[in-house]
Amino acid sequence: MRKAMVAGNWKMNGSLVSNELLVNTILKGADKLLTDSVDVVLCPPNVYLSQICELLKNSSVMCGVQNISLHQSDGAHTGEVNARMMKEFGTKYVIVGHSERRANQFESDADVLSKIKHALQYQMIPIFCVGETLDQRESGRIEVVISDQVLSVLDGLTEKEASEIVVAYEPVWAIGTGLTASPDQAQEVHRYIRSLFSSRYGQELAEKVRILYGGSVNAANASDLFKMKDIDGGLVGGASLKADEFLGICRSSTNLVVSD
Ligand SMILES: O=C(CO)COP(=O)(O)O
Whether the per-residue pLDDT at 258 is higher than 50: the answer is no
Q: What are phi and psi of 195, to 5 degrees?
A: -65, -30
Question: Would you state the pLDDT for residue 256?
Answer: 45
Determine the pLDDT at residue 1.
82
Q: Could you tell me if the CB of 176 is within 6 A of ligand 1?
A: yes
Q: How many CB atoms are closer than 10 A to CB 160?
A: 10
- Show the domain range for 138: 4-256
3 state DSSP class of 227: coil
Catalytic residue among 98, 100, 118, 245: 98
3-class secondary structure, 58: coil
- For residue range 55-74, what is the model confidence (pLDDT) as tens digits? 999 999 999 999 999 999 99
Residues with Cβ within 8 Å of residue 66, at least 6 apart in sequence: 9, 10, 11, 43, 44, 45, 46, 94, 95, 98
255 pLDDT band (50/70/90 cuts)? low
DSSP letter for each residue of 3-24:
PEEEEEE--S---HHHHHHHHH
Contact 121/69 with Cβ under 8 angstroms? no
Q: Tell me if residue 190 is catalytic.
A: no
* Annotation: binding site: 9-11, 176, 216, 237-238
Residue nearest to atom 6 of ligand 1 (CA): 237
- Residue 180 Cβ contacting ligand 1 at under 6 Å: no
Take atom 7 of ligand 1 and give the residue whose Cα is closest. Answer: 237
Interval 29-49 mean pLDDT: 95
Q: Assess whether pLDDT exceeds 60 at residue 260.
A: no
Determine the average pLDDT of the residues in 99-121: 97
Domain at 215, CATH number: 3.20.20.70
pLDDT digits (tens, 9 = 90+) for 130-168: 999 999 999 999 999 999 999 999 999 999 999 999 999
Total domains in the fold of the chain: 1
Please give the distance, rounded to the nearest whole angstrom, from the Cα atom of residue 199 to the centre of ligand 1.
Answer: 29
* pLDDT on residue 153: 98
Q: Please, which residues bridge with residue 129 across strands?
A: 168
Cα dihedral across residues 44, 58, 34, 121: positive or negative: positive
Average pLDDT over the chain reads: 96
Cβ of 170 below 6 Å from ligand 1: yes
DSSP code for 48: G
Residue 257, pLDDT above cutoff 70: no
Known binding residues for substrate are: 9-11, 176, 216, 237-238
Which one-letter amino acid corresponds to residue 67? N
56 and 63 in contact (C-beta within 8 Å)? yes
pLDDT in tens, 195-218: 999 999 999 999 999 999 999 999
How much distance in Å is there from the Cα of 14 to the middle of ligand 1? 15
Kindly give the distance from the C-alpha atom of residue 4 to the centroid of ligand 1, in angstroms, as a whole number.
18
Burial of residue 94, with CB atoms counted within 10 A of its CB: 0-12 exposed, 13-18 middle, 19 or more buried: buried
Q: Is the pLDDT of residue 192 over 90?
A: yes
Pocket lining: 187 vs ligand 1, CB cutoff 6 Å: no
Portion of the chain with pLDDT greater than 90, in percent: 95
Integer CA distances (angstroms), 1 to 157, 206, 230, 256, in order: 23, 11, 12, 11
Is the CB of 234 within 6 Å of ligand 1?
no
Q: Is 245 left (phi over 0), alpha (psi -120 to 50) or beta?
A: alpha
Q: What is the pLDDT of residue 254?
A: 86
Residue 53 has pLDDT above 80, yes or no: yes
* pLDDT at position 177 over 60: yes
Cα torsion 251, 252, 254, 256 to 10°: value is: -170
* pLDDT average, residue stretch 22-51: 96
Q: Is 100 annotated in the active site?
A: no
Is 80 exceeded by the pLDDT of residue 259?
A: no
